[in-house]
Structure 1
């Protein structure tokens, strides 16, 4: 029998982490979500960021990948996860618009930031579904690390 999960919808520029079993849903276009999971403590967390890096001007919020990843990692460790146990999964970064500033695509830059920071923090990426021209709906199970996702057409976002 499948366990009943408490559900949480994750909005852009936010993050969520829990010791309790949750299923977290979010919708991604060019945004990226990183799911972190500690298989030993069963603590899971996810962020949803819109832009790759904070430029130092406005508020340092989880709207930016570099901030969102650090904040999620801090929250996971605060809840009892061990950095050396963490596994990561990356989703999103689709190119739904023709191109961003100076021809660099936002989705591509969001994916690059995720991979660089996770590598720098020595957190292995065990799965990913990134890029392309379709958005994604994902369901993240915080206690098992399982992620279910489906592709969405532009009109479904």
Structure 2
């Protein structure tokens, strides 16, 4: 694992590279989508907090619909062909079990990922979403491999 450059992915950001990186992130109700182009060996990942941009503040990768679009654009800029790209979806946990009728952000984050990827005809080849725990993600940009483990809220 020493040959990998490392990058920590903060919420509301994305990262893509042709170089071998190990990208780490921690997810609760947020969602991370890992995109990988196996032909050109290009990998990218985003980490968004809310499902859809409402048009009011900045159109940032804080929002799923913006984060997914921007990550696909970045992959194409690096040399990916859209037809080669495959996706893995992680996160969207329901960690705040106080009021089930509260907005269910995690569920909505998962839904926007699936809808947009389907619209873009990007196959989802793996996912670990929902539930009541957070996740620690390690994404390897050169192989598309994702390692994840469940974590309790106190580990964030």
Q: Calculate the TM-score normalised by the size of structure 1.
A: 0.96
> Is the alpha carbon distance of 1:49 and 1:95 closer, same or farther for their aligned partners in structure 2, counting shifts above 3 Å?
same
Matched residues in 2 for 1:156 and 1:37: separation? 28
Matched residues in 1 for 2:45 and 2:113: separation? 12
SS of equivalent to 1:109:
helix
Residues 1:77 and 2:76 are matched in the alignment: yes
Residue 104 of structure 1: how far off its partner (Å): 3.2
| C-alpha distance after superposition, 1:71-112 (max 9, x if no partner) | 000000000011000000000000011367963300000000
Match of 1:48 in 2: 47
> Is the alpha carbon distance of 1:32 and 1:100 closer, same or farther for their aligned partners in structure 2, counting shifts above 3 Å?
farther
Contact 1:52 1:64 (8 Å CA) reproduced: yes
Match of 1:95 in 2: 94
Structure 1 segment 20-39 matched on structure 2, within 5 A: 20-39=19-38
Q: Calculate the TM-score normalised by the size of structure 2.
A: 0.96
Report runs of 4+ in structure 1 exceeding 2 Å deviation: 98-104
Matched residues in 2 for 1:21 and 1:43: separation? 9
SS of equivalent to 1:103:
coil
Matched residues in 2 for 1:99 and 1:108: separation? 15
Q: Any stretches of 5+ residues in structure 1 without a counterpart?
A: none
Q: Any stretches of 5+ residues in structure 2 without a counterpart?
A: none
> Is the alpha carbon distance of 1:70 and 1:139 closer, same or farther for their aligned partners in structure 2, counting shifts above 3 Å?
same
